[in-house]
Structure 1
Amino acid sequence: MKNIKITCKNAPKAIGPYSHAVEASGKLLFVSGQLPVDPKTNKFVARGIVEQTQQALMNAKAILKTAGYELTDICKTTVFLSDIQNFTAMNQVYAEILGEVNPARSAFEVANLPLGALVEIELIASK
């Protein structure tokens, strides 16, 4: 089975040569890193880590839905933070949105994120 590119009209447009997500073998969905961009305005939401984490996860959720997946299908996330001091606040929002899903996760600080974002979140989901 070929890989299927997923494009979501309810997520911000890609800012480079990549897809919102790719479904492999009809069972795995790889969602590209989501920035805290409001898809309606194509601009960042408020500058705080709480709002940015919420928006990044809402963008990922929209992509999951477009591809026929749900939050409960997430098996792995990677969270990139521009400042590890934001971990606790990010983690609270992450827990509120993902609830009892509790996928495997990596979270770490990086030197910079695209467009000066505070957070970027990518994920893998499985049916």
Structure 2
Amino acid sequence: MQITFDDPPGVWLPAGRYSQVARVDVGTGALLFVSGQVAVDESGELVGPDDMTAQAHAVMRSLSTVLAAHGGTLADVVNIRSFLTDLGRLAEYGAVRRGYLGDDLPTSTTVEVGRLFVPGALLEVEVVAAIPH
């Protein structure tokens, strides 16, 4: 088994001491553990203040970018964990999420949190994906 940590280009570099993705090569494939993504651009600026739809699209694009750097797509996601600052806005997030995920729906956890590390961020999403070599 080989484990590789990576911060692929095209997404905001973490402000803390962590990587955007951990790739665990196992057998004929790999598991990708993607750190939580929030709606920030490459310079760290918040996308879509108080706009759940815009933020959800930005988060899904960031997840897609990280996965693509390792040969994966959102269709490879087997687990998704979503952290929202207001579950009253779950329908807005869910509408965007449905448009990005394939027909085989991953396992899922969604929770409400008091706040996120980026002021104004409405959601953070992390995923695990299984990809073939």
Runs of 4+ in structure 1 over 6 Å off: none
2:82 & 2:74 partners in 1: Cα distance? 16
Cα shift at 1:74: 0.5
Match of 2:16 in 1: 16
Root-mean-square deviation (CA), in Å? Answer: 1.2
Residue 25 in structure 1 maps to residue 29 in structure 2 = no
Match of 1:106 in 2: 109
- After TM superposition, the score normalised by the length of structure 1 is 0.93
Higher helix share: 1
- After TM superposition, the score normalised by the length of structure 2 is 0.89
CA displacement 1:78-97 (0-9 Å, x = unmatched)? 00001111101000000012
Residue 87 in structure 1 maps to residue 93 in structure 2 = no
Count of residues paired in the alignment: 126
**Mapping of residues 10-89 of structure 1, within 5 Å:** 10-26=10-26, 27-39=30-42, 41-47=43-49, 48-89=51-92
Task: Say if 1:74 and 1:101, in contact at 8 Å, map to a contact too.
Answer: no
Task: Say if 2:7 and 2:21, in contact at 8 Å, map to a contact too.
Answer: yes
CA displacement 1:45-74 (0-9 Å, x = unmatched)? 111111111101100100000011122111
Which segments of 5 or more consecutive residues in structure 1 lack a partner in the other structure? none
